[in-house]
Chain A
């Protein structure tokens, strides 16, 4: 045993012992520099917007806040929460994310499982009917007319129902279910468990890892969705955070109206540094919208990575 361990160590260290040539070292240094730049380019914009959202609004308006926050205050976050509609938009975004994710996870798991049931009538045909939808799209107008006919315009469910079934995640789940030993289902069936019973008490616990991946991807997609609000929603009560943020960036006039509405005369006494500007609102809302993603991502990175890997195996 001891001998083997020593052997292994020698083998491991052998790679390191090769002396790096001069050329290799130059490449090493350049690699570190270039990747530091890449990392900086990806991190800095978030940092920049964040420090501006907590700095003196006057200074940030003039572009003075670049590397360190100046005259730190957090009143921007309190003020944007008071803006008419923003809190409502946060509720809608959160609502669609929760409901949409729950439904998508359930349908992917359930259909993924059902399509492995060989006893089901016309199983292959129906599977093809669902899977084929990955490759075509009727287009904006036909879909719009369908949504109109279903009375889903200005309806919360338009955020959830069209995306309820995703063939891609369904196939992920199906592949996973297929990898689970058949004996597990057979044993349950002999014990008298029906199709649904097997799904809820045996399959769901077994396929949990893949469901986590499906959940995290759907949640991100739901949170980020923008186009459906643009197309189907005119009722301000149903606007999402993404949509409201887009409006804030593009319509200076609407921001001005918000400022007048929320500041009023009470704020005259407030210091100039804390007075809301179009820039401060835009930056603060950006942080509010991006924060959930930034906070969640590092913890769930492995699920994200797993998602692309399983997709890659298929592809």
Chain B
């Protein structure tokens, strides 16, 4: 093959992927241009013009305008609370996997694994629909509690401002824990059987084996999960909180992702919304790089 033919061929291969590269550029890179809206007073459908340029006004308003400051602090409190609770209980899927592995009846184990992973694959809208059905005033929880005489009038679990963070964590766990456990189950399967056997010969009981063999073997996996949790600390996603939000709990349920949406779509604060999402992206990138660096430092390899 001569040189020019080779060159043409190498370029031809690029042409094959060009349409897809264009798609990526259009949907992932071109929108970045929209960040300029953070420096204008953008009110659609008016196009951007020099007169509308406001410089850092929106960024300043986040720390200067008392109303905005109060709002933002509330939103950050919610974000930190929900991410914090998730981080605090991030060991739950690991323990779930450890004890699931202790079950010797294989069909039961398989059954538990299957049914606890299913919720991960249904949408938040469906989760909300389930929550609504089960917890409404005529739902099963209230009916049973009333019949048992625990309460005399139905508790409105969803229309309440109490324990919002904890409730949202419960739903998140209901949805994700079984699925998150799969990674640990795989890690446990990888543990050398001889190690366990040796411990048993030495007279270790179950709890001792769990404490001294199983858990130490899967801690590296847990470490990665914690790092990812930290990297995504500001990102809760908006869908869960959007569907569960109502006028009773809105003060506590509005996390950063939902706030960015509400600002733009609800109250028309387009430019401020863009400004906040820029800051969020920057902080998230810093968090990701930092946790990745830390991971490299601790276990010799990063997770990106």
Contact = CB atoms under 8 A, between A and B. Distances in A.
Interface string A133-164: 10111111111111000100000000001101
Interface of B: 6, 9-14, 16-17, 20-21, 23-35, 37, 96, 99-100, 102-104, 108, 111-112, 114-119, 121-126, 128-130, 132-134, 138-140, 142-144, 174, 178-179, 182-183, 186, 197, 200, 205-207, 221, 224, 228, 238-239, 242-243, 260-261, 264-265, 270, 273-274, 277-278, 280-281, 285, 288, 303-304
Contacts of A35: 99-100, 103, 108, 112
B13 A140 contact: no
Interface in A74-111: 107, 110-111
A150 B26 CA distance: 9
Contacts, number: 239
B186 A48 contact: no
Nearest to A167: B24
Contact of B260 (A32, A130, A139): A139
A23 interface: yes
A24 B21 contact: no
23 contacts: A15-B197, A23-B205, A31-B103, A35-B99, A38-B116, A39-B111, A62-B138, A126-B14, A133-B29, A135-B288, A142-B34, A143-B31, A143-B34, A145-B31, A146-B26, A223-B123, A224-B123, A226-B125, A293-B118, A297-B117, A301-B117, A304-B117, A315-B224
A305 B117 CA distance: 10
Contacts of A31: 99, 102-103
A43 interface: yes
Interface residues of A, dominant DSSP: helix
Interface in A30-48: 31-32, 34-35, 38-39, 41-43, 45-46, 48
Closest 6 CB pairs between A and B?
A: A142-B34, A139-B277, A138-B31, A63-B138, A224-B123, A142-B31
Given A27-B206, A39-B115, A139 B23 contact: no
A269 B118 CA distance: 41
Nearest to B31: A138
A293 B121 contact: yes
A172 B143 CA distance: 48
A240 B100 CA distance: 37
Nearest to B120: A304
Contacts of B123: 223-226, 242
Nearest to A30: B99
A119 B9 contact: yes
A119 B274 contact: no
A126 B260 CA distance: 31
Given A62-B138, A139-B278, A294 B118 contact: yes
